[in-house]
A and B are shown apart, each in its own frame.
Chain A
Amino acid sequence: GQNIDQPTEMTATEGAIVQINCTYQTSGFNGLFWYQQHAGEAPTFLSYNVLDGLEEKGRFSSFLSRSKGYSYLLLKELQMKDSASYLCAVRDRAGTALIFGKGTTLSVSS
């Protein structure tokens, strides 16, 4: 079956660094995505990994290890506006829909 696991909730303080982990077991692998979703809004694309290693985009970085079925999203210099749900998603075949995890709700406090 298809399974994507990530923690349900995390809390952190402004200025800190937080790492959100995601593990997956899927029938195939054609890329891993991270999306951010603020309450009442649509998911917005953050990052994409298809090869092992780290992809950096400003304050956000995403890491992938295909052999371990593992990814993480690293958020640096946290800001209050980073409070949101972070969704890990895998595409198991090219041209198909994403399989989403249940999301991690991150709360950033001052």
Chain B
Amino acid sequence: DTAVSQTPKYLVTQMGNDKSIKCEQNLGHDTMYWYKQDSKKFLKIMFSYNNKELIINETVPNRFSPKSPDKAHLNLHINSLELGDSAVYFCASSPRTSGGGETQYFGPGTRLLVL
């Protein structure tokens, strides 16, 4: 029944490691997103992706890379983790409609702690 799911929910790792966070949506949506929410609760877009286009927020380090095996999945891979990467990462999805709206639905979040 879960609309947008993410795994893992919690991730604790050492600096310098490489890790991946998985996201799946069963809503049949066309577009998926990754957001980062920092300790001050500020939610900021990292990537948006549909089958045709990847839009990258220019402030995102290239250590972060989205990977989409199919329309229902958008995974986030992070190389050489740094302390500042500690945050909550939210996946979201939205339909592509012509009538506006395109409400985004969020996954439960992955709490990443880099030690």
Q: A residues within 8 Å of B by Cβ?
A: 30-31, 33, 37, 41-45, 48, 50, 85, 87, 89, 91, 94-100, 102-103, 105
Contacts and interface: CB of A to CB of B under 8 A. Distances in A.
A41 B45 contact: no
Contacts of B48: 96-97
Contacts of A41: 108-109
18 contacts: A31-B101, A41-B108, A41-B109, A42-B106, A42-B108, A43-B106, A45-B103, A45-B104, A48-B101, A48-B103, A95-B102, A97-B33, A97-B35, A97-B45, A97-B104, A100-B42, A103-B41, A105-B41
Nearest to B106: A42
A43 B43 CA distance: 10
A31 B105 CA distance: 15
Contact of A42 (B100, B101, B107): B107
Interface string B84-115: 00000010000010001111111111000000
A37 B107 CA distance: 12
B40 to A, nearest CB: 7
B67 interface: no
B42 A98 contact: no
